[in-house]
Structure 1
């Protein structure tokens, strides 16, 4: 039988202690997996916001899913609502890409996203296309800002070797998250530093200073 990760999240301690938000999510997921004939294992983050992917139980679930298919004991992740998993288009797009690369399914019941089905894959691809379009638009702005900085004679350092969308995404994340959370989300999206290393809080701080120096705008 196919086994899926059922992921639950509530953002406040009050919701966590009452169990009401968790119970509703669990019920929705249970009915869905029962209809599909799937088994489910539960991962629960209590009192945590979706502004970051740096949540203990979510990261534990993603680690379990990253195992190569032949050794993996779960086949995907199911959430009752997309905002239980992520409130960021970029973060969700990164999860979808990871799922596609590792061949596991992502199911967001409220949106009809179920990448184990052809229709669900289509919906997910549309969402990723929108995210890619957004990154390209942001990249154009970043490139224009960097070219202007070059003409003004400003030194750009290693930031110039970052992919355009990585730099702009970093700036966007720093408007809402800590250095550590920003590093975690960049790593979760499969992005690296200019030297090809995983992001750390210190690396984010240095890149942020350099990008700010050349006038790369943040986005909300």
Structure 2
């Protein structure tokens, strides 16, 4: 059930709109250069000047957190908006606020029920209008759809390569004598489990430096390119 819309604190009709501008960069290099933050701040100040807003800018610097809850300055800004201490959250780009459709949808619902506005400059969106809210939802869902399509194409491409016999993943880094031994002893009748037990007991490291072998680990070696290269040619 949708929460009831919270009433805002009464204010003078001629009081300026109180806006919190939110900027974020995700890498230390961007923080040091200042380029990303400066560009975002300039865009927010320009919009605030045009609208006559009373603007305060807050920043999460060097954070690549995926959700709203992992960004402390944004969390604090949202609490102030919910409490009626500010009227608008404005960001230069949607991905500065959220990259998750579910997260962004919750943010839109929160703005609606608590009575504050979300403005995204790159989309020309202002959620105080039905059209603005519709556009925000549509673009967020489109972005998620595109990410899922990319994921599906990647999986299909990998499946096609496997079907063609292309070996994928990190190559084995086992010494050639260990590979030769596994191939030789398995050909002589040693089981996968027996080989795994013996190699573990002898403290032979796995390809990734592990200390324990499993039947699946031995099977992977037998199907590796190293093992194939040891096969005699005719």
- 2:126–2:133 Cα contact (<8 Å) kept: yes
In structure 1, list runs of 5 or more residues that go unmatched. 135-220
- The number of aligned residues is 128
Higher relative contact order at CA 8 Å, sep ≥6: structure 1 or structure 2? 1
Structure 1 residue 33 displacement after superposition: 1.6
Structure-1-length-normalised TM-score: 0.54
Aligned to 2:51: 36
> In angstroms, what is the RMSD of aligned CA positions?
2.1
Please identify the structure whose Cα radius of gyration is greater: 2
Aligned to 1:64: 80
Instruction: Kindly provide the CA deviation profile for residues 49-76 of structure 1, in whole angstroms up to 9, marking residues without a partner as x.
Output: 1412211101111111111xxxx22102
In structure 2, list runs of 5 or more residues that go unmatched. 1-15, 146-234
Structure-2-length-normalised TM-score: 0.51
- In terms of fraction of residues, the more helix-rich structure is 1
Structure 1 position 102 matched with structure 2 position 118: no
SS in 1 for 2:122: helix
Point out 4+ residue stretches in structure 1 off by more than 6 angstroms: none
SS in 2 for 1:29: helix
How do 1:1-220 and structure 2 match up within 5 A? 1-53=16-68, 54-67=70-83, 72-124=84-136, 126=138, 130=141
> Following the alignment from structure 1 to structure 2, what is the Cα–Cα distance between the partners of residues 121 and 39?
23
Query: Residue 127 and residue 93 in structure 1: after superposition, are their counterparts in 2 closer, same or farther (change >3 A)?
Result: farther
SS in 1 for 2:107: helix
